[in-house]
Amino acid sequence: MATLDVPGARLHHTVTGSGPALLCIPGGASDSGVFAPITGLLGEHRTVITYDPRGISRSVLDDPDEKQRIEVHADDALRLLDSVSDEPAIVFASSAGCMQAFDLVTRHPGRVCALIAHEPPLTDLLDGQPGIDPDELLHIYQDRGIEAAIGKFMAEAGFAGGGVSPEMRKNFEFFIVHLMKAIGDFTPDYETLRASGTRIVVGVGEDSAGQPAHEAAVLAAGRLGVEPTRFPGDHVGFAVDAVSFAPRLRAVLEA
């Protein structure tokens, strides 16, 4: 475990294994722990870097009320990569973490040789489906509290409900108040991504069909000129069934 000082924040991260660098970017309110089940399985052949994004869990901000911007989060990812290796790296991004990954590839294409974007929630691509409204979630949080806001988010995303830990509640507060609107406002530059020279794989869960993030990912793959790649499990299959997910991911990386 280590801490990297970046402008405005300190990033808590871990580096595991040996070999070419593989950076894992979590989405939404998740931290590096979401990748814990799969890290050891990938570290046999890769140097796996996981981290808490700024404002999440142990990655503290100098100014807690600082406006969050996708490009700043992408710069954080770049600095983490630079702190480990100067060779082109592989990025595995989950959910909203795909936005930082897309921006990283757009502005630094030579730094990423391959990007696996697992279910990017680009719900603006869904015809007639408005997606999750960040302003509505913020109002629910302000009027009824974080539990109500989390419940609304889970229902709109099509995820199973359930309680969350005190730390995750804190992360959801940061996500809803500061980060979600920046994610929702981000639109990938599909043309630049296609021309980047970076190999881009758009992953979808075998068990998440019908959920907004899955359906949006299928459409995003079309915009990027690739076929969606199916992975075991659902939106977080890499955390729930790492034993099945890891071999599929290794096969995709080696292809």
**What letter represents residue 128's amino acid?**
G
- Whose structure tokens read 């099945």? 244
In degrees and rounded to multiples of 5, residue 93 shows phi and psi of -115, 140
* pLDDT at 109 > cutoff 80: yes
More confident residue, 37 or 166: 37
The pTM for the full model equals 0.96
* pLDDT score for 127: 85
The CA-CA-CA angle for residues 34, 37, 39, to 5°, reads 90
Question: On the CB side of 106, how many CA atoms lie within 13 Å of its CA?
Answer: 18
What integer is the mean pLDDT of 39-54?
95
Contact 67, 4 (CB under 8 A): no
**What letter represents residue 48's amino acid?**
V
Q: Can you point out the beta strands (E) in 33-143?
A: 47-51, 89-94, 112-118
Q: Can you point out the beta strands (E) in the chain?
A: 2-6, 9-17, 21-25, 47-51, 89-94, 112-118, 199-205, 229-231
* pLDDT score for 149: 95
Contact 26, 1 (CB under 8 A): no
* pLDDT at 1 > cutoff 90: no
* pLDDT score for 161: 65
* pLDDT score for 255: 82
The contacts of residue 18 (CB under 8 Å, 6+ apart) are: 43, 46, 47
Tokens of 62: 């100098």
* pLDDT score for 204: 98
Dump the DSSP string for 128-180: T-----HHHHHHHHHHH-HHHHHHHHHHHHT-------HHHHHHHHHIIIIIH
Query: Could you read off the pLDDT of 120-169 as tens digits, one per residue?
Result: 999 999 987 667 899 999 999 999 999 999 999 999 998 876 668 888 99
**What letter represents residue 30's amino acid?**
S
* pLDDT score for 129: 66
Query: Could you read off the pLDDT of 69-106 as tens digits, one per residue?
Result: 999 999 999 999 999 999 999 999 999 999 999 999 99
Confidence of residue 49 (pLDDT cuts 50, 70, 90): very high
What integer is the mean pLDDT of 169-180?
96
* pLDDT score for 130: 62
What integer is the mean pLDDT of 227-241?
97
The torsion of the CA quartet 194, 181, 96, 171, rounded to 10 degrees, works out to 160
Query: Could you read off the pLDDT of 185-225 as tens digits, one per residue?
Result: 999 999 999 999 999 999 999 999 999 999 999 999 999 99
d(CA 9, CA 104): 18
Tokens of 189: 């530059």
**What letter represents residue 175's amino acid?**
F
d(CA 223, CA 125): 10
Beta bridge partners, 24, equal: 50, 92
